[in-house]
Amino acid sequence: PPASIPEPQREAWLKHQVSGFKDKDAFETDVVRHVETTLARSMFNCDESAAYAACSLAFRDRLVLEWNRTQQRQTFSDSKRVYYLSLEFLMGRALDNAMLNIGQKDVAKAGLADLGFRIEDVIEQEHDAALGNGGLGRLAACFLDSLASLNYPAWGYGLRYRYGIFKQEIIDGYQVEVPDYWLDFNPWEFPRHDVTVDIQFYGNVHKSTDGSGKTVAHWEGGETVKAVAYDVPVPGYATPTTNNLRLWSSKAASGEFDFQKFNSGEYESSVADQQRAETISAVLYPNDNLERGKELRLKQQYFWVAASLYDIVRRFKKSKRAWKEFPDQVAIQLNDTHPTLAVVELQRILVDLEGLEWDEAWNIVVNTFGYTNHTVLPEALEKWSVGLFQHLLPRHLQIIYDINLFFLQSVERAFPNDRDLLGRVSIIEESQPKMVRMAFLAIVGSHKVNGVAELHSDLIKTTIFKDFVNIFGPDKFTNVTNGITPRRWLHQANPRLSELIKTKTGGEDFLTDLTLLNKIELSVNDKDFRKEWAEIKLANKVRLAKHIKASTGVSVNPSALFDVQVKRIHEYKRQQLNIFGVIHRYLTLKALTPDERKKQLPRVSIFGGKAAPGYWMAKQIIHLINSVGFVVNNDKDIGDLLKVVFLEDYNVSKAEIITPASDISEHISTAGTEASGTSNMKFVLNGGLIIGTCDGANIEITREVGENNIFLFGNLAEDVEDLRHSHTYGAHTVDPDLAKVFEAIESGTFGDQQDFAGMITAVRDHGDYYLVSDDFHSYIETHAIIDEAYRDQEGWITKCITSVARMGFFSSDRCINEYAEGIWNIEPLPVDKSDSGLGKG
Ligand code: Z15
């Protein structure tokens, strides 16, 4: 370590070194100190939010210590680091996670009780960090948790949006978007006003010849924006390793605002410049699986990528190594195509700024990057117009053209005279206007490309990236099936189940080696274990029922079968299939005699999820769900037999309440459309079963838990294309049961039929692209099978226990280890836990 403090004075530092809370007294001392000094309050005005603030600051003090030590350790060991570039990190709340990972939640609970607070209420005060849309952003958050827990030297790089994903309100059955201003009080971020990077946009390129006759490009003029780093500590579970998530915030390059302009009377334009700069990191684009080609979005991408690469290169240069060793020190993972400009930016740094030869630079670039693809949906594949590039990033466009030229030349050499092939794989699409295909650029600029579940990885190899498999060979393409962190999604969300599992697996090791879950299968017939299992599920349902009552006013019976679909609203995820099925159930119940009805199994259909603000059909689906709920929930004939609720503002912290409370959850995307899905894993891990299509990770879940423990239905991916083809426009007949559902909607049962006409015509008249009608019968039948299975409560519990026991594969720890070995070539940096500044409580 650098000897900034001379030897004689170090004694004082060591004497006063911050350490873990010895006991709850020490914790209470810190909380009271923060209330009375940091917050300038007292016991006479300490409300729950002040208690949250003080408790967070007390834990933050401990985290910071390990965070600094981790950074020092990783720097001095000179080990290779991985940098995870993601436009989204859907972190959720940090306090509970910090307490559990440090292992001192018990201390905090007792300490807060002494001070007059319930820990649950204190935790509830925290605003979610919601810097993401859905699965892709949450995956990034799970990965950070695993990277730290497994002691990998790793940093996340993202954008510090002032507004995260909007808050959803449901007003009169419609979604209303409210801005999510979350930075009012955020104890988990550390502004680094000394860590800044100037980022250039627009301008022109001039070429000159240097002394040796080499052409050199100079990117000049344009405008400059400043990137300021904000760091967020990411604690690992039961390890001192605390990694860093660095988020960039934009501000005017001239500081607050341009004083020169201000002094010369141009007040308005000096403020406008400042606002324009701050706009770059102002708001997260709220689209999931959709790209809309807006200039500001491309600006966000370059701003974040350029700042991150500058930072990474700056760190590498300190090591004084040769450039060719860059890929031995640095692995960069591209989370989808959003950071693909990093490929171009690194090439620019190496060639234009560092003076490397093109080929040498390109070798370094390709060996540094890996690219993860998360979708095959055409509307989600990023393309940017050449014109926009030329305007915003003129030098980058030239480099892209050169990358493409050399790539196409190599293709031509390997496959002579195949002009079609060249057109198909060109990074530049020769359309009107010309477009840059970002996925192709990412493939060409990376040494590995992976999909996120087996079916998905096979599909990209045989469809959208088929030509690239021929060109680069199959080894460049690989699969890493997604996973989830068992710390948040089992231990934190479902503490009682975690406790119960602990009694059968011999301690907490299953939280770091999830395959140990298989030990609970030995207890599947243990009466006490089964009883406790059922009690926990019921308690979790009671908790959710309370939340439903408080947030929607609807009373639901906790002993009813809870049927849950929570995820972004999208036609391909088929919430419309679900609500049509619910309507079918309602019509069936209505047609029964009161005596027959008494024999039916009560159900609660629970929906949640946000629609992109511009996604008209998704909003119509939300409106129909709410309208059906309004009718069904107030129908005296139906009573408890069917309730339909839409939970407002689904987010990570709500998922932690909902996931442990489900009996059955719906993962019913049209086969071949959902790359993986990750909530499917969360639900099964929490002792719920799933109804699903043969899509994404459902297939691997089935392989693990066994076909008897999952309810699969619907057409297969391999048949989708033919089915679509057979839906000759306007001529295809709708499933008869579904036709009755449409009749009910069109006769006004759920309000003005015009409000839902789009959903019906999509199926009936516009080719039913998502195969709702094709899968309807099989869907309804499978729900009937589920009812029967649930009546046999003993059989049901056996299925649940068996499934949980077999879920070990889906830990994000397994997933991260696969990336580390197969793509990043990095090793964990082992830590001596006793060498940590924290006492484990
Ligand atoms: C997103 O959330 C996903 C893919 C995307 O291309 C975009 Cl832009 C957003 C999701 C997939 O839809 C989901 O199947 C997958 O589990 C998740 O990424 C994580 O890989």
Give per-residue pLDDT as tens, 229-240.
999 999 999 999
In ligand 1, which atom is closest to the CA atom of 375? 6
CA distances from 480 to 236, 381, 484, 772, 818 (A): 22, 20, 13, 30, 7
pLDDT of residue 41: 97
> And the tokens for 747?
């006769």
Confidence of residue 623 (pLDDT cuts 50, 70, 90): very high
Confidence of residue 656 (pLDDT cuts 50, 70, 90): very high
User: For residue 341, is pLDDT > 70?
Assistant: yes
Distance from Cα 674 to the centre of ligand 1, integer Å: 8
- Residues framing ligand 1 (Cβ under 6 A): 133-136, 139, 288-289, 336, 374-375, 380, 452, 482, 674-678, 696
Rounded-to-integer distance, Cα 217 and Cα 612, Å: 41
pLDDT of residue 267: 79
pLDDT of residue 96: 98
pLDDT above 90 coverage of the chain, percent? 92
Pick the closest to residue 666 from 745, 735, 603 (CA basis). 603
Distance from Cα 567 to the centre of ligand 1, integer Å: 11
Segment 612-641 mean pLDDT: 98
Q: Whose CA is nearest to atom 1 of ligand 1?
A: 136
Ligand 1, residues 335, 372, 375: which to mutate, most atoms within 8 A of Cβ? 375
Confidence of residue 6 (pLDDT cuts 50, 70, 90): confident
Give the pLDDT confidence of 775-830 residue by residue, as tens digits: 999 999 999 999 999 999 999 999 999 999 999 999 999 999 999 999 999 999 98
User: For residue 113, is pLDDT > 80?
Assistant: yes
| CATH architecture of the domain with residue range 78-93+128-481 | 3-Layer(aba) Sandwich (3.40)
> And the tokens for 7?
């030897």
User: For residue 343, is pLDDT > 80?
Assistant: yes
> And the tokens for 516?
């140990």
pLDDT of residue 20: 75
CA distances from 770 to 403, 508, 613, 680, 762 (A): 37, 43, 21, 20, 9
Segment 682-693 mean pLDDT: 99
Domain 560-809 CATH (choose: 3.40.350.10, 3.40.50.300, 3.40.50.2000, 3.40.720.10): 3.40.50.2000
Rounded-to-integer distance, Cα 104 and Cα 625, Å: 42
Spatial CB neighbours of 169, under 8 Å, sequence gap ≥ 6:
175, 176, 177, 178, 648, 649
ipTM comes to 0.99
Name the segment(s) of the chain with CATH classification 3.40.50.2000: 78-93+128-481, 560-809
pTM of the model: 0.97
Is 543 an annotated catalytic residue? no
pLDDT of residue 515: 98
Rounded-to-integer distance, Cα 565 and Cα 574, Å: 10
Is 81 an annotated catalytic residue? no
Segment 510-532 mean pLDDT: 98
Is 374 an annotated catalytic residue? yes
> And the tokens for 289?
């699986």
Catalytic residue among 70, 659, 670, 678, which? 678
In ligand 1, which atom is closest to the CA atom of 456? 14
Distance from Cα 337 to the centre of ligand 1, integer Å: 12
User: For residue 840, is pLDDT > 60?
Assistant: no
Catalytic residue among 162, 541, 682, 764, which? 682
Pick the closest to residue 660 from 677, 692, 691, 682 (CA basis). 682
Spatial CB neighbours of 737, under 8 Å, sequence gap ≥ 6:
584, 776, 777, 780
Segment 215-224 mean pLDDT: 96
Give the pLDDT confidence of 246-288 residue by residue, as tens digits: 999 999 998 666 777 777 778 788 888 899 999 999 999 999 9
Segment 359-370 mean pLDDT: 99
Spatial CB neighbours of 815, under 8 Å, sequence gap ≥ 6:
143, 146, 480, 481, 482, 483
User: For residue 837, is pLDDT > 60?
Assistant: no
pLDDT of residue 838: 52
Ligand 1, residues 86, 165, 287, 288: which to mutate, most atoms within 8 A of Cβ? 288
Rg (CA), the chain: 28
How remote is the C-alpha of 744 from its chain's centroid? 38
- As to burial, measured by CB atoms within 10 angstroms (0-12 exposed, 13-18 middle, 19+ buried), residue 754 is exposed
Confidence of residue 731 (pLDDT cuts 50, 70, 90): low
Confidence of residue 1 (pLDDT cuts 50, 70, 90): very low
Segment 609-632 mean pLDDT: 98
User: For residue 836, is pLDDT > 70?
Assistant: no
The answer to whether the peptide bond before residue 433 is cis (omega within 30 degrees of 0) is yes
Ligand 1, residues 86, 89, 136: which to mutate, most atoms within 8 A of Cβ? 136
User: What is the pLDDT of the chain when averaged over all its residues?
Assistant: 96
Segment 364-369 mean pLDDT: 99
Segment 307-319 mean pLDDT: 98
Is 682 an annotated catalytic residue? yes
Give the pLDDT confidence of 434-471 residue by residue, as tens digits: 999 999 999 999 999 999 999 999 999 999 999 999 99
Contact at 8 Å (CB) between 492 and 511? no
DSSP-derived secondary structure letter, 80:
-
Is 24 an annotated catalytic residue? no
Confidence of residue 835 (pLDDT cuts 50, 70, 90): low
In ligand 1, which atom is closest to the CA atom of 338? 8
Segment 116-126 mean pLDDT: 98
Distance from Cα 375 to the centre of ligand 1, integer Å: 6
How remote is the C-alpha of 140 from its chain's centroid? 5
Q: Whose CA is nearest to atom 8 of ligand 1?
A: 289
pLDDT of residue 730: 61
Segment 715-744 mean pLDDT: 93
Residue pointed to by tokens 């076909």:
707
Segment 121-139 mean pLDDT: 98
Confidence of residue 14 (pLDDT cuts 50, 70, 90): confident
